[in-house]
Chains A and B, each alone.
Chain A
Amino acid sequence: GNSVTQMEGPVTLSEEAFLTINCTYTATGYPSLFWYVQYPGEGLQLLLKATKADDKGSNKGFEATYRKETTSFHLEKGSVQVSDSAVYFCALSNNTDKLIFGTGTRLQVFP
């Protein structure tokens, strides 16, 4: 079946540090891949997405590349800010209308 595995958090970084949050998936065919972000006390916001192999999604300085050979969609940012502190969810959609979410990774950025 379809599934998403994310690295466990919390991830704790100092401001301006490099961020990587690992995400791998299991799916048949060619799923679409997503990163959503949930800021404290808020709902989910779409951060970025990629719909086919080697696509790179990017937004607000965050990037993720759809790697079919490693079934991965790792989230990266070159220099994090305190305002990036949130929970990040990796998700996939595989030719259905359903989203399969990972468990979420909490990021804490300190000044």
Chain B
Amino acid sequence: SAVISQKPSRDICQRGTSLTIQCQVDSQVTMMFWYRQQPGQSLTLIATANQGSEATYESGFVIDKFPISRPNLTFSTLTVSNMSPEDSSIYLCSVDPSRDTQYFGPGTRLTVL
């Protein structure tokens, strides 16, 4: 398994601003994943982040809106850019240390006014 922390745990932001979410893992992992969970909904994969390469985005998500950094094997950031109320969601990162099971962080609860 893996222990994952996220910062901030929650935030309230104004429309048009940007928020960067941090994800820290207690061990080195090749792949990290970012998900969005809209209110009352299931999880949707935003992108997969490998260290040393560009993130791979899922259909409907673009780098300009959700830029991702992966500077090393234990850390990643997701930025939600030019926010609107529709971006209000829980954002979760996950890792798959042994390539057979994903483990999730506690999530970042974002409210955009």
- Which positions in A face B, CB cutoff 8 Å? 32, 34, 36, 42-46, 49, 51, 89, 93, 97-99, 101-104
**Chain B interface category by residue count:** 20 to 34
Which of B59-67, B74-82, B104-112 lies at the interface?
A: B104-112
B99 cross-chain contacts in A, Cβ below 8 A: 97
- Which positions in B face A, CB cutoff 8 Å? 1, 6, 31, 33, 41-43, 45, 48, 90, 92, 94, 96, 99-107
CB of B107 within 8 A of CB of A42, answer yes
Given that A89-B42, A97-B48, A102-B42 are contacting pairs, would A46 and B101 also be in contact in the complex, using a CB cutoff of 8 Å? yes
Q: How far is the CA of A36 from the CA of B102 in the complex (A)?
A: 10
Q: How far is the CA of A73 from the CA of B90 in the complex (A)?
A: 27
Closest 8 CB pairs of A and B: A43-B106, A44-B104, A43-B107, A101-B42, A43-B104, A103-B42, A101-B43, A104-B42
